[in-house]
Amino acid sequence: MVDFKIHFLGTSSAVPTKDRGLSCVAINYENIVAFFDCGEGSQREINEAGLGFNKEGAVFISHMHGDHVVGLLGLLQTMSMNRREKSLQIFGPKGIIDFVKLNRAILRFGLTFEVNVSEIKPGLIFKHPKFQVFAQRSEHSTESFSYVFEEAEKPGKFNTRKALKLGVPEGPLWSKLQHGMKIVSPKNGRIVRPEQVLGPSRRGKRIGISGDTRPSQKLKVFFERCDVLIFDSTYSDEHSENASENMHSTSREAATLAKKARVKKLILTHFSARYKNVSTLVRQARAVFPDSIAARDGMVYDVSAES
């Protein structure tokens, strides 16, 4: 089974609380870590989660507000203190290049690894053999992006009966066929190709991360049929005017978008510090989209365990 987990490292909006740090979500895919936003103090939560600072990965910043990006400086320094050698790619909106460059100059800290920083536009922004990341503009008070983490397409279901009929016994040869390699049958010497024993390829799982945003038709299309959608739920119905004024979403609005986008699971996050308990926000979301839960700092959601 593929190791595919979402770590919620910070779930507060703007102001940290006793129980919630500032925005940071990490997707750990087979020991490759993709960080989405990096609020102040994120490196401590990364350490607590056991994610380490030397793994292959990248950082994706949604927008240039302090509670989403200031922790990037500490993360880079902590990675260097841990003698990281692997290069790191950082993606974000306009301003991210100057932010990293100028702060490194002002703070006068060197790095033990190469950093490549890119300002992004909507579309495919990062491609790895095991996954890819897409960006789309969101609706916030400054230039802001939402992201979709998409697992690479998976091979079709292996037909054991066909394999045996073609003279391929159970064992290492089955694995080679499942990984797209043709083999020679040890029983009859014939070449057996993967397409002879595999069904249609299967779409990889998709994780949507909204960042700070108002709901929009553009995001509804972008998040279509995500397996998991992590969405801005800063406010309850009672403070819907604040949501509109500050360019955030209520939990009910997040649920409405999730329902329209036909996602499988909605995880609410980015809660205003005014809510010590977010049960009201969860209840309002579930009235629209029953499969809604609230993120909490330190929570791990196992994507690989879902069918």
Q: What is the pLDDT along the chain (307 residues), one digit of tens a residue?
A: 789 999 999 999 999 999 999 999 999 999 999 999 999 999 999 999 999 999 999 999 999 999 999 999 999 999 999 999 999 999 999 999 999 999 999 999 899 999 999 999 999 999 999 999 999 999 999 999 999 999 998 888 899 999 999 999 999 999 999 888 999 999 899 999 999 999 888 899 999 999 999 999 999 999 999 999 999 999 999 999 999 999 999 999 999 999 999 999 999 999 999 999 999 999 999 999 999 999 999 999 999 988 6
Catalytic machinery residues: 67
Alpha carbon 62 to chain centroid distance? 12
Q: Which among 147, 132, 115, 120 has a CA at the least distance from the CA of 228? A: 147
Task: Show the tokens assigned to 279.
Answer: 């049960």
Sheet of 300-302: strand order equals: 115-119, 88-92, 57-60, 32-36, 24-29, 4-10, 300-302
* Alpha-helix residue ranges (DSSP H) falling in the chain: 42-48, 66-69, 71-81, 96-107, 160-165, 172-178, 217-222, 240-246, 251-261, 279-286
This prediction has a pTM of 0.91
Helix, strand, or coil here: 204?
coil
Question: What are the chain's domains?
Answer: 4-154+203-305 (3.60.15.10), 160-196 (no CATH)
Task: Show the tokens assigned to 268.
Answer: 């609410």
